[in-house]
Amino acid sequence: MKKKFDKKRIYAVITEKFCLNGSSINTLKDVLKAGVKIVQLREKNMNRDKLIKLAIKYRKLTIHYGAIFIVNDFPDIAYMVKADGVHLGQDDMSVEEVRAKYPELIIGISTHCMKEAALAMKRGADYINIGPIFRTKTKDISKYKQIGCFKLKKIADKITIPFTVMGGIKTSNIRKVSAAGAEIFAMITEITMAENIGGRIAAINKTIGAAEAQNLYLTNF
């Protein structure tokens, strides 16, 4: 049975070249030990055989810690290693194609505007990502311009499925992004480039909790 994609708060995305310690696996272990319950393996240019071996290790560790495991871009590898899901880009296989071939996979898709978000919902994505919210070195900003919190709020108000936000998300701007409607925060370097990953994740969780409490107060005021 497919796992439910729900509000896990932190969605850790790991790419080895952005790992301060130089190791994707050691970074994953630190992330999981800190309690993160959804992880994406994002390696767009890695040799396929190496990626499969890495994905198998990710699957074993995420099962041990009870975390959802998502593979970026490659639904066949996600299926092969028994990952929980796949995350698609706008130029990857369509949601319908992946659903037909791999019905048990959670399917997420990156979106960059309301039009793309609406289409992803119509096609049956389990969740979408909205971004980049701010400037980021991990995404081609010449192709995808930053959305910002004002546009994020307009998109978030119309989305009826779970969504994550990504792109320049830092502990310092989480309150602002949360106020714009975000509840699940996808982050790469804020986590993977931290000297103390466990400490950084604890700080992020504390900030998210404070932001949620503030939003609830303002809603009920």
Active site residues: 42, 110, 139
What is the separation of C-alpha 59 from the centre of its chain, rounded to a whole number of angstroms?
Answer: 16
Alpha carbons 5 and 153: distance in angstroms, whole number: 21
Alpha carbons 131 and 106: distance in angstroms, whole number: 19
| C-alpha neighbours within 13 Å on the C-beta side of residue 103 | 2
Tokens of 159: 């989305």
- Among residues 10, 14, 108, 109, the alpha carbon closest in space to that of 61 is found at 14
